[in-house]
Chain A
Amino acid sequence: MGAIQNKVIGPVSDELALVQAAKRGDDSAFEELVRRYDRNVFRIAQHITQNREDAEDVVQEAFLKAYGNLSKFQEQSKFYTWLVRIAVNEALMKLRRRKPERTVSLDEDIKTEDDSLPREIADWSPNPEQQYTQAELREILSKTIQGLPPGFRTVFVLRDVEGLSTEETAAALELSVPAVKSRLLRARLQLRERLGRYFQRRDAENGRELKGGDVKNNDVASGDGDL
């Protein structure tokens, strides 16, 4: 079992040239940046807000904010990371407006106990996603990730879906690298556990139902002070 392959996010070599042209007032260069990243921003926004209209608004507001503040962009980070930071903030604001009764922040739910530690260890079917139609699978994935606290799903989406590095994710979310790492671990484990409900082997003969094995160890939770 090896490492997962990193997703490459478009060529960045000419990104700086586009940004500089846009700064000089070349709107077609800015439009090219929109074209390059609108799908990513939409995906991130919808993952955070869980609402399509909000996600559409976030795409518009994030790009407009980027346009208006382009002169302040220092070019020390990638434009994309800067844009993601703007988009995440816009998306969190939408979420707060929609759920005013709850305080929504990236620090939310970080005190969860060992709820992400593996409890259900049963193996999955081979190619579990093929048990479902595309539409069913999307529904399962969407419902499953919605159950995660915003702080966890945002880290998961940036790192694992959009392919940002740990450092880029930390910069975009204004979190420390250890905080990103611990949230990513918890997000991955929680998603794995929740998806298991749909993807577990149906055949008990083949699936060794090993519940609550020695993987569950409170040392992991207690040893990770910032979670």
Chain B
Amino acid sequence: MKCSEFLQELTSYLDGVLDEKTKAELENHLSWCHNCYVVCDTTKKTIEIYRDSQLYELPEDLRSRLRSAIMTKCQQYKKRGPQSV
């Protein structure tokens, strides 16, 4: 497997959706190609850091305000139809 082929399969590998044969070829490549190992490892870390980052969490007070605004507008919609919102 060439590095370019490895890169094309990287996303499927990280998502765990590769067939066993391709996965084995890829892991064999990773065992000797330091560059691809680093790219794979740091890409995985990138995803995990974003996933665990709690970036743009909705604060509870804002959340309550938004929810009550949404429900109020929904009631208006129900009573008067789409023109009211």
Binding site for B on A (CB under 8 A): 1-4, 6-7, 25, 27, 30-31, 34-35, 38-39, 42-43, 46-47, 55-56, 59-60, 63-64, 67-68, 117-118, 121-124, 128-129, 137-138, 141-142, 145, 156, 160-161, 163, 166, 181, 184-185, 188-189, 191-192, 195-196, 199, 208, 210, 213-215, 217, 219-220, 223-224
Interface of B is mostly: helix
* Chain B contacts with A in 46-77, Cβ cutoff 8 A: 46-51, 53-58, 62-63, 66-67, 69-71, 73-75, 77
A27 to B77: give the CA distance in the assembly, Å. 12
Is there contact, CB below 8 Å, between B35 and A118? yes
Binding site for A on B (CB under 8 A): 2-4, 6-8, 10-17, 27, 30, 34-51, 53-58, 62-63, 66-67, 69-71, 73-75, 77-78, 82, 85
Residue on A nearest B46 in the bound complex, by CB: A192
Is there contact, CB below 8 Å, between B3 and A43? no
Contacts of B7 in A (CB 8 A): 117-118, 185, 189, 215, 217, 220
Residue on B nearest A213 in the bound complex, by CB: B35
Is there contact, CB below 8 Å, between B41 and A1? yes
Contact of B67 among A38, A123, A142, A188 (CB under 8 A): A38
Is there contact, CB below 8 Å, between B50 and A3? no
Is there contact, CB below 8 Å, between A7 and B51? yes
A223 to B2: give the CA distance in the assembly, Å. 14
Is there contact, CB below 8 Å, between A27 and B74? yes
Given contacts A64-B73, A189-B10, A215-B36, 8 further A-B contacts (CB under 8 A): A3-B15, A4-B44, A4-B47, A56-B66, A60-B70, A188-B14, A208-B34, A220-B7
Is there contact, CB below 8 Å, between B2 and A217? yes
Is there contact, CB below 8 Å, between B55 and A160? no
Known: A7-B51, A42-B56, A161-B50. A31 touches B71 (CB 8 A): yes
Contact of A185 among B11, B54, B57, B66 (CB under 8 A): B11
- Interface centre among B39, B56, B70, B77, by most chain A C-beta atoms within 10 angstroms, is B56
Contacts of A138 in B (CB 8 A): 53-55
